[in-house]
């Protein structure tokens, strides 16, 4: 991350961070602050909300108004904050487990309401913080501590899931495509409605070493290969960007 961004956007007193060497989480934080900086958004108009997990720790390191909430509950907290103060840009940082397992119901209803939030899903395909259990976004056949012989369940395609549920900005990028990632996040801020950016990111410690991807570089190469395969679940880009009635506007108009 650029030195000036560390001074401007991070809580240096909370560093060093807890993330393992080769974890992709720091790259996502860097892309997020770069997107915020490029849009010149007033720091006091931003609130960052996270759940629990390695990824959700990001909120603690960021020098904004932040709230590190409960596992799976970042979205209800964020919705409450946005309802109380619609002027705020509310950003949600969440892991694939946090967002689609325990928090999955909040996700689909947040999309259905089209409430104006910016959600960034750190998709490392696993529960990193708690020792590598299977998540709803663990690929078929992948080995985890709860699927030692290979995952027998299909994984969610979160972009399709949120499209069906009603989100109005949907994008996917990866930590191996940094400029693209900054762009996906930057564009999500222009949407007045529920925005979601899925970010494919490596967890070499809990996912990689169980799945023949022991080094961080092999994980990054694997992400690049998956993107090149152009299969539905690894395609990157914007999949939806539409203007539709937003929950708070509708609510206020109906009073």
Ligand X SMILES: Cc1ncc(C[n+]2csc(CCOP(=O)(O)OP(=O)(O)O)c2C)c(N)n1
Distance CA 211, CA 143 (A): 6
192 versus 210: smaller Cβ distance to ligand SF4: 210
Per-residue x/- track, 201-220, ligand SF4 (CB under 6 A): --xxxx--------------
84 burial level (CB within 10 Å; 0-12, 13-18, 19+) = exposed
Q: CB under 5 to 8 A by kind: which of ligand X, ligand SF4, none does 96 bind? A: ligand X
Indicate whether 142 belongs to the interface with ligand SF4 (CB under 6 A).
Answer: no
18 versus 252: smaller Cβ distance to ligand SF4: 18
CA angle, residues 113, 29, 184, in degrees to nearest 5: 55
In the complex, the residues that contact ligand X under the rule CB under 6 A are 52-55, 71, 95-98, 122, 124, 126-130, 135
Only one of the segments 170-178, 197-205, 219-227, 230-238 lies at the binding site for ligand SF4 (rule: CB under 6 A); that segment is 197-205
Tell me if the bond preceding 16 is cis, omega within 30° of 0: yes
Which bin fits 5, alpha (ψ -120 to 50), beta or left (φ > 0)? alpha
Distance CA 59, CA 66 (A): 6
Candidates 124, 162, 173, 188; binder of ligand SF4 (CB under 6 A) is: 124
> Which positions touch ligand SF4 (CB under 6 A)?
19-20, 23, 25, 54, 124, 128-129, 203-206
């Amino acid at each position: 991350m650029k030195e000036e961004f560390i001074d401007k956007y991070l809580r240096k007193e909370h560093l060093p961070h807890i993330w393992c060497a080769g974890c992709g989480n720091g790259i996502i934080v860097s892309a997020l602050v770069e997107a915020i900086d490029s849009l010149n958004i007033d720091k006091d108009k931003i609130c960052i909300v996270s759940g629990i997990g390695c990824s959700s720790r990001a909120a603690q390191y960021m020098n904004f108004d932040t709230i590190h909430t409960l596992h799976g509950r970042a979205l209800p907290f964020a919705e409450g904050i946005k309802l109380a103060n619609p002027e705020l840009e509310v950003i949600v940082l969440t892991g694939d487990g946090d967002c689609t397992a325990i928090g999955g119901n909040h996700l689909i209803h947040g999309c259905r309401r089209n409430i104006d939030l910016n959600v960034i899903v750190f998709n490392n395909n696993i529960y990193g913080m708690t020792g590598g259990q299977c998540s709803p976004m663990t690929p078929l056949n992948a080995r985890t501590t709860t699927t030692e012989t290979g995952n027998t369940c299909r994984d969610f395609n979160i972009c399709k899931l949120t499209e069906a549920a009603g989100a109005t900005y949907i994008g996917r990028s990866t930590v191996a495509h940094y400029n693209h990632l900054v762009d996906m996040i930057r564009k999500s801020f222009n949407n007045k409605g529920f925005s979601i950016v899925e970010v494919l990111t490596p967890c070499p410690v809990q996912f990689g070493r169980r799945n023949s991807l022991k080094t961080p570089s092999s994980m990054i190469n694997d992400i690049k290969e998956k993107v090149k395969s152009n299969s539905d679940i690894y395609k990157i880009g914007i999949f939806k960007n539409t203007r539709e009635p937003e929950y708070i506007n509708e609510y206020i108009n109906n009073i």
